[in-house]
Structure formats: structure tokens, C-alpha cells
Amino acid sequence: MKILVTGAGGQVGRCFAELAPQYPHWQFIFADSALLDISDRKAVLAFFKQYQPDYCINCAAYTAVDKAESEPEKAQAINVKGARNLAEAMARLRSEGLRSEGFETPRYGDGDGNGGLIHLSTDYVYHGKQNTPFVESDAVAPRSVYARTKLAGERAALRAFAHTMVIRTSWVYASHGNNFVRTMLRLGAERPALRVVFDQIGTPTYAPDLAAAILQIIAQCSTDPEKHKAMSGIWHYSNEGVCSWYDFAKAIFEIKNIPCAVSPITSAEYPTPAQRPPFSVLNKNKIKAAFGLEIPHWREGLERCLERL
């Protein structure tokens, strides 16, 4: 079985390369932006024609939340057009379109055989006033360019390919890349005190946990026709538990014994170009029940990340 990972140079994408040896019978194809520009439709179709993946895990995204406010075209190209291109290519590949016809005429539908697209999305699509964890059927209300383009990308992919699994996740970090944990470690070493917002509530997600869960899902879908049939649609995955960014920073410094004082501030005291959801905790009951996942608590993931660092 061939697994294509797009955005392979990013936080989550790199985790799949680390986990790949655990699946020696699968062939992984890792494509970073230099190898495959997912916003280029012809390049995507040609790439799929050459490699013919059974599953595509789309980790490619424009994730510079604040910068997206001044670069909406770039966010649109990657988050919407790119997602649609991958879904269209996968749809045509599963229906034998690329193998038998070239790629001049799109063919959508369920296709035959196995396979699927797993597309990563974000908790930022939720911006309601509720204070209970969001379920997949809750109303969306994106308030930023990033959130709106991610939502549009979800919908484009789901329309283009029936076997698209959209996984909304939150506050992703890893021991590599640009993320909150690495930023706090740097600032904590440079400054005696920091001020961090306490009125944005969510759940940190350790990228290797997310990647491992996705591979478990693929393993089940590739051998169980009923699970493969049911994989499409919207799903949630994050680590367990709830915290604010303030709590998260405090935990980082506590675990690493960094003597940096952390004071709580409101979002109004730390304005940003893009609005963040005040509460975006995700309910994971659906994905846990369907695939039997055991999801670690966010602090456990953080401890494993800090051990690596």
C-alpha cells in the first residue's frame, strides 16, 4: 500500500517519517512543497499519475494565522485550491481515471477499491459562545482568513472526493518547527517574566500523537470495508484535557524547571491581526468510538515532547 504525505516538511508531516518504520509493508511517499506544489493542479494530477497512492494524508497548509490577514490569496491557494486539487486527483485515481484516460477529464464519485484522502483542518472554524466541547455537527463561525480558508478547503475536498476524511485538530506542536512550546522555551530562557493570554481555551495536540492516530485509522480502513466506507466526513482529534495558553506556558516552565514568571492577561491586552476562538475544545467521542483510539492527555504529550528537546 502506498501512502502519500503532502506537507512532509511541516510539523505533522515530519512525524510520519519518524513513524514509517513501524509499517514496513507500506510504501511512504513524502512530498514537501519543493517536490509538490499542491496549488498547481496539473502538477498534482501528474504526481498522482506517477505514484498512484492508495491514501493521501494532506498536512500541507498555510498556517501563518496573522500573516494570512494580509496574504489571503496565498492562504486561499494552499488551503482551498490545494485541498481541492488533491481530492480531485484522488477521486480520479480511485475511479481509474488517471490510469486509463490521462487527466484531461475529471471523474468524481466513490470510485472502486480502497483508498482515501485524510485532510487536516482546524479548531479555528469554531468561534461560537458555547462552553462545552464542540462536536462535529456544531455550527461553524470562522472569524479569520486562515479559518475561513481552512473551512472552504474542507468543503471543497469533501465535494470532490467521497472518501475524504477531514480531521479538525487544535494547538498543534512538536519538538521541531515553529510552535508555542519552542517559542516559550526560547523566551523563557531570555526573559525573567512573560505575560500570556488566559481567556483562550483549547487543547494542545502533540503532533506525533496525531500522526500515530491517523496511521492507526488507515490500518483499520485498509482491511475493514465498513470502516473504510464510514471514514468520510468531519472528525475531531486532539489530545485529551483542557487548558488556556497561560496554563500551557506554566506547564512548560514547570516541567523544564525554568524560573520564568508567567502572568495571565486577556486577549484584549494582546491584540493580534487575526481573531482567535475564545473556546475551541473538541469532543473526540466520535473518533474514539469508531476506531478504538486511546488518546493521551495533553500534559503527557507535552512531557514526551520536552524529553526530546
Q: Which residues are catalytic?
A: 146
CA dihedral 48, 156, 216, 109 (to 10 degrees): -70
Distance of CA 126 to the CA centre of its chain: 15
**127: nearest Cα among 154, 145, 147:** 147
- What is the pairing mode between strands 193-197 and 261-265? parallel
Spatial distance between the Cα atoms of 41 and 28, rounded to a whole number of angstroms: 22
Spatial distance between the Cα atoms of 30 and 9, rounded to a whole number of angstroms: 8
Spatial distance between the Cα atoms of 264 and 272, rounded to a whole number of angstroms: 16
Distance of CA 55 to the CA centre of its chain: 16
Spatial distance between the Cα atoms of 236 and 191, rounded to a whole number of angstroms: 36
CB 164 within 8 A of CB 84: no
Measured N-to-C along each axis, helices 207-221 and 11-19 cross at an angle, to the nearest 10 degrees, of 60
Measured N-to-C along each axis, helices 180-190 and 298-308 cross at an angle, to the nearest 10 degrees, of 60
Which residue type, as a one-letter code, is found at position 269? Answer: E
C-alpha distances out from residue 78 to 60, 102, 210, 257, 294, Å: 7, 24, 21, 39, 32
